[in-house]
Every structure is written in C-alpha cells, then in structure tokens.
C-alpha cells in the first residue's frame, strides 16, 4: 500500500507522543467493565464532547456499545498501580474494581474517587477505523477532583506531571 508505514515503526513513533492516562468505565445491561486508555481526546467544547478509541475485539468495546454510556477517569500520579491493574488481562473485572474506591455517576458508570477529573458521557456515535472503534461521546456530567500530579504515558513508561506544568 502506497504511503503506509510499518506497524513497528508506527508504534515506536507513538511512544514519543505523551498522553494522559485514563481508566474508562461503563455499566448497564452489558455489565460493569473498565480498562486503561490513553487514546482520549477532546472534540469540542460546544457541545462538550470527547472521543475514545477502543479495540473492536475487546470486551470493553462490546460493553460500551451495548451500555451506551461511559466515564473517563483522568488518573492522578498516585494511580500508576491502578492503571496497570486495569490494563492487565489476567485480572477479573471484579478484582480490578475492588482495588479502588468508586462512586456512581448519573449515567450509571463508575467514577474513581480521587481522579483528577471524571467525565460522564453518553455515546453519540461510533466510527470504525482500522482495528478500533472511535466512540464520539457527549459529556453529560463533570466532576473535578483535587489538584495533584497528573499521570502521563511517554517513552513506554509512566511519568508524573506536576500540576504547575499544566497551569
């Protein structure tokens, strides 16, 4: 294919693109699920909307599609271990959620206590791109947490970002 790049080269380049670390959660008819994701981006502030990219082969993709709602929990610097647990394939959904304190948003999705902020969302549309579904979400609820360090993923590792850098 003309203009295509090799997967390994693309992944190596993406390691140079730092991103906030988030735990995406959902609950509803398809049950409660959660996963770690850095592929989250703002779309618009009027109306407030975000996008989340999730592999179509994952249980999380199926759960969000069926539930129609999700929350995006932006992780603080001290959530690195929790991020790893929600990225692990060897841990049950129940065990993941048991490792932290959660509240429930108006849309029914779990909200992480102590998150830098949590966006409660309703799925507006889904577009398939390559291996992933891009969920375009309307933000229906926002919870801002206490100030603290942010958690970013860069260079294939976690880093803490002081809030002063984000001011």
Domain spans in the chain, listed from the N-terminal domain onward: 7-166
Residue 153, token pair as written in the block:
């993923």
Find the length of the chain. Answer: 167
pLDDT averaged over the chain?
Answer: 92
Give mean pLDDT, residues 61-68: 98
Give Cα separations from 89 to 41, 79, 95, 96 (angstroms): 24, 18, 11, 10
pLDDT of the residue at 42: 95
Overall pTM surpassing 0.85 (yes/no):
yes
What is the band of 50 on the pLDDT scale with cuts at 50, 70, 90?
very high
pLDDT of the residue at 4: 86
Say yes or no to pLDDT of 167 above 60: no
What is the band of 1 on the pLDDT scale with cuts at 50, 70, 90?
very low
Give mean pLDDT, residues 74-92: 93
CATH of domain 7-166: 2.30.110.10
């Amino acid at each position: 294919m003309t203009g295509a790049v090799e997967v390994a080269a693309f992944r190596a380049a993406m390691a140079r693109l730092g991103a906030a670390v988030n735990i995406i959660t959902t609950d509803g008819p398809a049950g409660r699920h959660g996963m770690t994701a850095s592929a989250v981006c703002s779309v618009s502030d009027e109306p407030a909307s975000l996008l989340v990219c999730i592999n179509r082969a994952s249980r999380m993709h199926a759960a969000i599609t069926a539930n129609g709602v999700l929350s995006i929990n932006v992780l603080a610097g001290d959530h690195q271990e929790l991020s790893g647990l929600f990225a692990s394939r060897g841990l049950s959904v129940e065990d993941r959620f048991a490792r932290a304190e959660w509240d429930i948003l108006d849309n029914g999705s779990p909200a992480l206590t102590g998150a830098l902020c949590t966006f409660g969302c309703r799925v507006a549309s889904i577009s398939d791109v390559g291996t992933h579904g891009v969920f375009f979400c309307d933000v229906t609820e926002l919870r801002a947490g206490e100030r603290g360090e942010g958690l970013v993923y860069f260079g294939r590792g976690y880093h803490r970002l002081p809030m002063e850098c984000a001011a």
